[in-house]
């Protein structure tokens, strides 16, 4: 809320005051106008200083917000760089995993039982053959099963041999995926930091707006005080002008009165001189008037 000046302390001057007030009253009025003008000028100066301080703080907050903006933008650029790298690595990893799947599918490595499972089954069947008493028909059937398992085991081993660098391909794909995850983690960290600077930027701009509002209010108070001071100065000048007019009028009247007295004295001296020439006796006072008039 604006801190308005106390208008009850202001001094007003009307044309009627200038015309009708005595010289003494006008001198007193001029003093009141001068004192109030000086008081208002001091008030305006203080308000201008407070406004300038607030404007300086506003600039500081705007500069602070700009720093956060630049840092945020810099971080967002880094976020985009890591995003691009992450996406590039994920695409590369996907291609490698697709190659792994293609090799597996081509060699049918995912079909049937694994090498270890086949080995375990063969061992179980051989143990059964060695430890159990079987009929000829059952033993023949068991031997066929063992041979079948061995063929499958051999086929699986051959396919694995043909797969060549499959494990190396898988490891490479996993390493690339791991590297992509690191970039994703960096994206998250940098994005969080960028958001922090964004929030601080918004807060700094908000504070700058609040301080600017206070500065604008203080400027309005300054203008109010300065305009009132200027009005009092104008009125002071008007009163001073009127006082000069009165001084000139008094001087003119005094000069006129002196001239009238001088003229009267000359006329009186001329009369006395005529009496002197006619031989009349003059008293001391008459002689002094003649002397003063330069007749003697």
Q: Which position has the higher pLDDT, 288 or 98? A: 98
Quote the percentage of the chain above a pLDDT of 90. 57
d(CA 252, CA 258): 10
- Residue 152 confidence (pLDDT) above 80: no
Q: Which position has the higher pLDDT, 134 or 47? A: 47
- Residue 161 confidence (pLDDT) above 70: no
* Ramachandran quadrant class, 214 (left: phi over 0; alpha: psi -120 to 50; beta: rest): alpha
- Segments forming the whole domain that contains residue 67: 35-257
C-beta of residue 100 within 8 angstroms of C-beta of residue 166: yes
Tokens of 132: 């159990």
pLDDT in tens, 267-293: 777 777 777 677 777 777 877 876 776
Q: Global pTM?
A: 0.61
- Does residue 10 fall inside a structural domain? no
C-beta of residue 200 within 8 angstroms of C-beta of residue 145: no
Tokens of 77: 């650029």
| pLDDT at residue number 105 | 66
Question: pLDDT class for 108, splitting at 50, 70, 90?
Answer: low
pLDDT in tens, 171-187: 899 999 999 999 999 99
CA dihedral 114, 118, 120, 121 (to 10 degrees): 140
- Mean pLDDT taken over the chain: 87
| pLDDT at residue number 296 | 61
d(CA 237, CA 212): 36
Helix residue ranges, H only, the chain: 15-20, 23-107, 115-131, 136-163, 166-277, 284-293
d(CA 145, CA 55): 95
| pLDDT at residue number 207 | 97
For 225, how many CA atoms within 13 A lie in the half-sphere containing its CB? 23
- Does residue 30 fall inside a structural domain? no
- Does residue 281 fall inside a structural domain? no
d(CA 109, CA 101): 10
Number of domains comprising the chain: 1
- Does residue 291 fall inside a structural domain? no
Tokens of 248: 């000139």
- Does residue 105 fall inside a structural domain? yes
C-beta of residue 33 within 8 angstroms of C-beta of residue 11: yes
d(CA 29, CA 45): 24
* Ramachandran quadrant class, 2 (left: phi over 0; alpha: psi -120 to 50; beta: rest): beta
C-beta of residue 290 within 8 angstroms of C-beta of residue 276: yes
**Residues sharing a CB contact under 8 Å with residue 33, sequence separation 6 or more, in sequence order:** 11, 13, 232, 233, 235, 236, 239
Q: Which position has the higher pLDDT, 176 or 101? A: 176
């Amino acid at each position: 809320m604006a801190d308005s000046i106390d208008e009850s302390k202001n001094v007003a001057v009307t044309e009627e005051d200038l015309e009708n007030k005595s010289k003494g009253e006008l001198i007193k009025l001029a003093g009141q106008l001068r004192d109030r003008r000086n008081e208002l000028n001091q008030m305006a100066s203080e308000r201008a200083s407070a406004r300038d301080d607030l404007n300086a703080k506003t600039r500081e907050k705007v500069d602070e917000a700009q720093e956060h903006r630049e840092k945020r933008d810099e971080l967002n650029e880094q976020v985009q760089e890591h995003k691009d790298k992450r996406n590039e690595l994920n695409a590369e990893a996907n291609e490698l995993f697709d190659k792994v799947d293609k090799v597996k599918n081509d060699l049918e490595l995912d079909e049937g039982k694994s090498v270890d499972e086949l080995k375990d089954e063969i061992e179980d069947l051989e143990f059964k053959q060695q430890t159990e008493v079987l009929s000829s028909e059952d033993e023949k059937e068991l031997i066929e099963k063992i041979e079948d398992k061995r063929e499958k085991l051999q086929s699986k081993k051959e396919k694995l041999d043909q797969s060549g660098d499959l494990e190396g391909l898988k490891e490479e794909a996993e390493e690339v995926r791991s590297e992509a995850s690191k970039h994703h983690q960096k994206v998250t960290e940098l994005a969080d930091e960028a958001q922090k600077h964004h929030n601080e930027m918004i807060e700094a701009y908000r504070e700058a707006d609040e301080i600017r509002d206070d500065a604008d209010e203080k400027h309005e108070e300054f203008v109010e005080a300065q305009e009132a001071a200027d009005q009092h100065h104008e009125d002071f000048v008007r009163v001073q002008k009127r006082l000069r007019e009165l001084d000139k009028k008094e001087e003119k009247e005094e000069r006129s009165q002196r001239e009238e007295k001088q003229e009267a004295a000359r006329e009186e001296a001329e009369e006395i001189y005529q009496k002197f020439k006619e031989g009349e006796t003059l008293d001391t006072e008459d002689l002094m008037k003649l002397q003063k008039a330069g007749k003697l």
